[in-house]
Amino acid sequence: MAEKRLKTGSDFTWRDMEVGNIVTEAGSAALRRTGDWRSQRPIIDKERCNKCGLCWLYCPDAAIKLLEDGYYETDLFYCKGCGICAKVCAREAITMIEEEEK
């Protein structure tokens, strides 16, 4: 079923729809790149970060991951670029930059 769900674009026909459009596998969102409508992305400045975890707590899409060293990283596969992390960061360690910027 998970394989079926991974069909995209022209491969996915009406015959691939499950009864009632039900998604029969849990956690299938992990397979879908949902960060592709982002127009801005967050940049975390490790120099300013004090590992408080507010960004991780407030991210509405669980797109911020805790790294082994205690710092945080944005998972751009899911991040929609909403900017909440930048807004809540007490140390102003997160800056939103335009997606086209390197």
Partner 1 sequence: MSKRIGLEASHAAAEAARMADVDVIAAYPITPQTHIPERLAEMVANGELNAAYIPVESEHSALSACLGAAAVGARTFTATAGQGLELMHEVVYVASSMRYPIVMTICNRALSAPLSVWGDHSDAMAVRDTGWIQVFCQNNQEAFDMTLWAFRVGEDSRVLFPVMVHFDGFHLSHVTEPVILPEQKEVDKFLPRFQYPFALNPDKPMTHGAFGPPDIYSEAKIAQEVAFRKSKDVIIQGFKEFGDIFGRYYHPVEPYKTEGAKLLLLTMGSFSETAKIAIDTMRNKGESVGLINLRLWRPFPFRELRQAVKDAETIIVFDRCISFGGPGGPVSSEIRSALYNEKERPRVVSFVGGLGGRDMSVKDFEYVVDRGREILEKGSEELFETVGIRGEVTGIRG
Q: Give the number of other CB atoms < 10 A from CB of residue 40.
A: 18
Judged by CB, which is closer to partner 1: 14, or 60?
Answer: 14
Applying CB under 8 A, which residues contact partner 1? Answer: 9, 12-17, 19-28
52 and 64 Cβ atoms separated by less than 8 Å: no
The least distance separating partner 1 from the CB of residue 7, rounded to whole angstroms, comes to 11
Tell me the two tokens of residue 62: 């669980």
Of 84, 65, 87, which is closest to residue 76 (Cα–Cα)?
Answer: 65
The least distance separating partner 1 from the CB of residue 29, rounded to whole angstroms, comes to 9
The least distance separating partner 1 from the CB of residue 30, rounded to whole angstroms, comes to 13
Judged by CB, which is closer to partner 1: 20, or 60?
Answer: 20
